[in-house]
Amino acid sequence: MLSAMALEQDLERHCPACLSRLPEGARFCPSCGHDSRSSTVLAPESGATVVERSPNRFARDSQLPPLRIAPGTRISVYRFDEVIGEGGMGVVYRAYDEALARPVALKCLHSNLAGDRDIRTRFAREARILSSCTHPNVVKVYDFIEQDYLLAMVMELVEGPSLVQYLAKWRGHMPWPEIRHLFREVLEAVDAGHRQGVIHRDLKPDNILVTGSGDCLRPKIVDFGIARILEGTTYTMSGAFLGTCCYMSPEQVRQPHAADPRSDIYSLGVTLYQLCTGKVPFEGNHFAVMMAHAQEQPVPPSRLRPDLPSELEHLILDALAKDPSDRPPSCAAFRDRLLAALPAATPTSSNFQHPRVIRDGVASEMVLIPAGSFLMGKERRLVYLDALYIDRTPVTNREFATFLEITGYRPTDEDAARFVPHLLGGKLSKRQENHPVVHVSWFDARAFATWAGKRLPTEAEWEKAARGTDGRKYPWGRTQPSPHYANYGNKDGGTVPIGSYPDGASPYGVLDLAGNVWEWCEDFDDPAFYEDGPPNNPRNEQPGQRLVMRGGSYMFGAHALRTYARTSFEPQYRFAGGGFRCARSA
């Protein structure tokens, strides 16, 4: 049995915070990083939040630091609420600053990293540097904490998906205006950091958050300079950054500590490649990807997205040059070339008022659907749309017959025998002129829209035109359907003339959005995209087998009249209950 003196000497060789055995002569515990020579964890002059340590505070409960901090735990003025993310370096918690009454994010290093003395020193240094960065597109660092097993940065809490999650909502086909807007601000933020001497070292879509909504989307870069904390340690190549290798510059592959601003530019080139194509340039296992960055040329992005502007492709490939001197010399130069490759649409004067109704000589009238957000889908998710015009009524037999007479259009697909049989050969009766055209495929509808200088509406545009901004169940409101509002449940009755149900008008005065005929939309059908697609001008361009139709028809019952009811058919399908209307951007 050990004597009291021997027991005391044995305890002195263990960390008083976590009871891990200390190496001979060690001051800092390799398990939790505790400074065994001090009753506090960090000297006040260092600028960190200092918390007094109670003797054996954590030893009473466990010999190891906890993997997770329990909700409700209070450290200094911060209350931990829940885990919101985890990566190779640590865990991110939603927390609450009780002193300043604001929500914050706490990025806590994994305990195996926090026990490394060099990492602790670099962590404190980088936190002080980052707290001086105030760019609106960089997540703000407010404070840092060092207590017992805990190393944490206190950061601005940003609500929103990462850029890789946001890209997934677009199914890898983000629109060019969206890429231009988001990536421009990313480049400006990184350029501001470079001018202050701060290199990110780990730029990738997972480290860029997207916040805001509508036309106010804003990227926010996280973890500026965090990768530097692991430089010179065994953790750099031990798996902490397995996800980073897809974005690593050739010089970082050869010499992990060789990063400079041009390395960030390479990582941004990979990110832009991914935003444009939905894929990174090189895929495979960790080693194969790193070797590819160092030795192989990427597949030209235009092979993955044929409509990629040539100037943009040249910019991406320049940013991915193996030789750093061949890349854009700065993020500012990168930004200028991006804006030249993706010119913005001509801005409309803030004093300009779109007319509520226009006439274009093809359809009788088009009605303005103002820019703004609306509630989409059965779950009523918030979606923003730019202003557009949409036909007040579906395209009629008379209008489509004019198109056929002028253009001589005739489809040649295998289902062409079903193409508008009531119009060909002079069969159209006067009584049928103002009925909606039917027996038209998606291709036929697009051909008419192109001839008329218009397009088909996206699914979101169609739904907003029907639903307005109050989330109504039917175009006319919440009153249950009746023959007073729409032509439905009348399989043997056929279509009726357009505009026959004025009391069924939508909030914008658009007619016949419920019943009479199903209407083709521009989108490929994907229920998941509809339910959880991008919140800003969603349009599903990812090719599929079926295209969306909306609105119900005379053949269907009342359930198809709901503003969120939808169906889909193959694009060449033609039937007696299928028509369309057109739209155009305002």
Q: Are residues 379 and 496 in the same domain?
A: yes
9 band by pLDDT with thresholds 50, 70 and 90: low
Q: Are residues 199 and 282 in the same domain?
A: yes
pLDDT of residue 45: 32
Mean pLDDT score, 189-195: 94
- Report if residue 1 sits inside a domain: no
- Report if residue 4 sits inside a domain: no
Average pLDDT, the chain: 86
Please report, for residues 441, 521, 533, 539, the alpha-carbon distance to residue 571 in angstroms, rounded to integers and kept in the order given: 6, 10, 22, 16
Q: Which of 312, 341, 370 is the last residue of a domain?
A: 341
Q: Are residues 495 and 531 in the same domain?
A: yes
- Report if residue 482 sits inside a domain: yes
Q: Are residues 426 and 471 in the same domain?
A: yes
pLDDT of residue 512: 98
Reported as half-sphere exposure (CB side, CA atoms, 13 A), residue 448 has a value of: 28
Of 114-128, 194-208, 341-355, the range with the lowest mean pLDDT is 341-355
- Report if residue 348 sits inside a domain: no
Report the CATH number at residue 172. Answer: 1.10.510.10
- Report if residue 45 sits inside a domain: yes
pLDDT of residue 537: 95
- Report if residue 346 sits inside a domain: no
Q: Are residues 134 and 213 in the same domain?
A: no
Q: Are residues 193 and 144 in the same domain?
A: no
377 or 56, greater pLDDT:
377
Mean pLDDT score, 487-509: 95
Which two structure tokens, joined as six digits, stand for 84?
A: 């919101």
Domain range for residue 120?
Answer: 14-156
Q: Is the dihedral of CA 427, 432, 438, 443 positive or negative?
A: positive
Exposure b/e, 19-54, CB count within 10 A at least 16 = b:
bbebeeeeebbebbbbbeeeeebbeeeeebbbbebe
Q: Are residues 456 and 370 in the same domain?
A: yes
Q: Are residues 401 and 549 in the same domain?
A: yes
Q: Are residues 147 and 170 in the same domain?
A: no
Q: For residues 473 and 480, give the distance between their C-alpha atoms in angstroms, rounded to a whole number.
A: 9
Q: Which of 156, 181, 215 is the last residue of a domain?
A: 156
- Report if residue 319 sits inside a domain: yes
242 band by pLDDT with thresholds 50, 70 and 90: very low
Mean pLDDT score, 533-556: 94
pTM of the model: 0.76
Please report, for residues 77, 141, 184, 217, the alpha-carbon distance to residue 161 in angstroms, rounded to integers and kept in the order given: 27, 19, 18, 11
**335-378: per-residue pLDDT in tens?**
999 999 999 876 555 567 889 999 876 667 999 999 999 999 99
36 or 311, greater pLDDT:
311
- Report if residue 9 sits inside a domain: no
Q: Are residues 198 and 337 in the same domain?
A: yes
Active site residues: 202
Report the CATH number at residue 128. Answer: 3.30.200.20
16 band by pLDDT with thresholds 50, 70 and 90: low
Q: Are residues 469 and 485 in the same domain?
A: yes
Q: Which of 106, 136, 156 is the last residue of a domain?
A: 156
Mean pLDDT score, 480-502: 94
Q: How many domains does one find in the chain?
A: 3
pLDDT of residue 13: 60
Mean pLDDT score, 292-309: 95
Q: Are residues 328 and 186 in the same domain?
A: yes
